Chains A and B, each alone.
Chain A
Amino acid sequence: MSRLYDLKVLIENKIKADGLDAMAVKGKIGLRTGKMLAFINPDTPDDPETVTKLRQAAKDVLNINA
């Protein structure tokens, strides 16, 4: 499994735990990352730049340190 997918799962769990509007939150993170979360699956290759952006977006939007 890729680091990108791990991050995606972490984000989805956090959204579910906090009862947030999943589409709106995922949209914000996707826009900040420059990649739709729907396109990330276990086989998605880890692009370091995308990983960094997704981690930062998760911190900015959900305040989670991944």
Chain B
Amino acid sequence: MKWNLIRTKVLAALAACLVVGVGGTLVLMQYSFARNSQALAVESVSGAQKLFTILETREISKMTAVSESLIVNSLVRDAFAARDRNRLIELTAPLYSRFKSQGITNWSFYTPEPDAAFFLRLHNLGKFGDISMKRFMVDEIARTHSIVAGNELARAGFAVRILRPIYDARGKETGYLEFGEELGQFIHAMKSQTGDDYGLLLSKKFMDQQAWADSNAVWNRRDNWNDNPDFVVADKTTATESIMRFQGNLAAVPDQGKVLERFRDGNSVFVRGLFPIRDAAGNVVGAMFVVRDISSVYAAMRRTQNILVLLTVVSLTGGIFLVLTLLNRLVFRRLRHIIAVATRVVGGDYESEIRVGSDDEVGQFEQLFEQFRRVFVDLLAHMPELQG
């Protein structure tokens, strides 16, 4: 390779352009890929959070509507006002089995304050008469005497609940009605809708060990209080505990959630994140972990990246080939012809002519050189050495 040639220098410059172009595209694609992956991961967490909020709102609406129809039922209202437990059971037990199949796992009647005792638990018929544990929602309804809704831990587990007053036929408040749906079952509904895996972790700081033990007894579950020093696993949709691996303070997790990691498992790519769970009092009492399989989107992004890189390489290579071909046809080949004609004229071929191909820059030079050649040949014709 002769570095003094324009063709070599142009070729080197174009090769450098190819390397810079492909390298730049790769860097840009990698940057774009990382950003899109992060956006996808963030969307996975926020999507799970939105779904959770939708489910929570929908279930609160459902329980509100069900309780509304129940408290206007004169039979139920009168049986509760008369403190006739057997009659109340007779009226509500058939309903409870149907409500339970619709997700309403907890159903209780309370007597009003000052004692605020459990009059009847449909989910635990044998247990009644005890005083409610210290709870924000119970305090709140005693203060406002209007419907209260939110997430709260009680003796039958951590649940989304509604608590509302019941009135007798004369409009006098006779007590409270509570419906609850365990949050643990939410994650199974979420999994069935999205296919993602979820885990619900609750901070022990906001929980009562005895309440947790009681709720596990009600639902015949193993008491896992001692499994972790700071948290309890309320429920999860996967057998592995790694879904809820987390080092840090749950209260510091931003409200919009947080992406923890992107990881590979075999050929699949997953993102893992969490968002905080607040109780009715507004405390961050736990977190929902989500693991989403983003393999298909990830593979599509990779495929797009590869196609773009390939297109860049092909287009730049094609561009280089086109530039070299044009340079060869428009410049180098015509310069070689001029050199060949000039050489032949010096060698004695005075008939050899330069073909003027066009009126571009090289064409102007060809024309000039051809005129020069004619003058030169005419001059030679008059040289005495050549006339003899």
Residues of A within 8 A of B (CB): 22-31, 36-39, 41
* 15 A-B interface contacts by CB (under 8 A): A22-B347, A23-B343, A23-B352, A24-B343, A27-B344, A27-B348, A28-B343, A28-B347, A29-B347, A30-B347, A31-B346, A36-B348, A37-B347, A39-B385, A41-B388
Residues of A within 8 A of B344 (CB): 23-24, 27
In the complex where A28-B343, A31-B343 touch, is A23 in contact with B386 (Cβ < 8 A)? no
* Residue of B342, B380, B385 touching A27 (CB-CB under 8 A): B342
**A27 pairs with B386, CB closer than 8 A:** no
**A26 pairs with B348, CB closer than 8 A:** yes
* Residue of B347, B380, B383, B388 touching A24 (CB-CB under 8 A): B347
Indicate if B13 sits at the interface (CB-CB under 8 A). Answer: no
Q: A29 vs B140: C-alpha distance in the bound complex, in angstroms?
A: 111
Residues of A within 8 A of B380 (CB): 38
**A37 pairs with B348, CB closer than 8 A:** yes
Residues of A within 8 A of B345 (CB): 27
**B385 pairs with A23, CB closer than 8 A:** no
Lowest 6 CB-CB distances: which A-B pairs, in order? A27-B347, A27-B343, A26-B347, A23-B349, A23-B347, A27-B346
**A38 pairs with B340, CB closer than 8 A:** no
Residues of B within 8 A of A38 (CB): 348, 380, 385-386
Q: A27 vs B340: C-alpha distance in the bound complex, in angstroms?
A: 9
- Would you list which residues of chain B between 272 and 323 have a CB under 8 Å from chain A? none
Least CB distance from B42 to A in Å reads: 72
Q: A22 vs B388: C-alpha distance in the bound complex, in angstroms?
A: 21
Q: A52 vs B386: C-alpha distance in the bound complex, in angstroms?
A: 23
Least CB distance from B333 to A in Å reads: 17
Residues of A within 8 A of B385 (CB): 38-39, 41
Least CB distance from B275 to A in Å reads: 82
Output the nearest chain A residue to B345 by Cβ-Cβ distance: A27
Beyond A22-B348, A27-B347, A38-B385: 17 further Cβ-contacts under 8 Å?
A: A22-B347, A23-B347, A23-B349, A24-B347, A26-B346, A26-B348, A27-B342, A27-B344, A27-B346, A30-B347, A31-B342, A31-B346, A36-B346, A38-B348, A38-B386, A39-B386, A41-B385
Least CB distance from A64 to B in Å reads: 17
Least CB distance from B80 to A in Å reads: 119
Residues of A within 8 A of B348 (CB): 22-23, 26-27, 36-38
Residues of A within 8 A of B388 (CB): 41
Name the residue in B340, B342, B352, B385 with the highest tally of chain A Cβ atoms < 10 Å from its Cβ.
B385
Output the nearest chain B residue to A33 by Cβ-Cβ distance: B346
**A30 pairs with B386, CB closer than 8 A:** no
Q: A41 vs B386: C-alpha distance in the bound complex, in angstroms?
A: 10
- Would you list which residues of chain B between 341 and 376 have a CB under 8 Å from chain A? 342-349, 352
Output the nearest chain A residue to B386 by Cβ-Cβ distance: A38
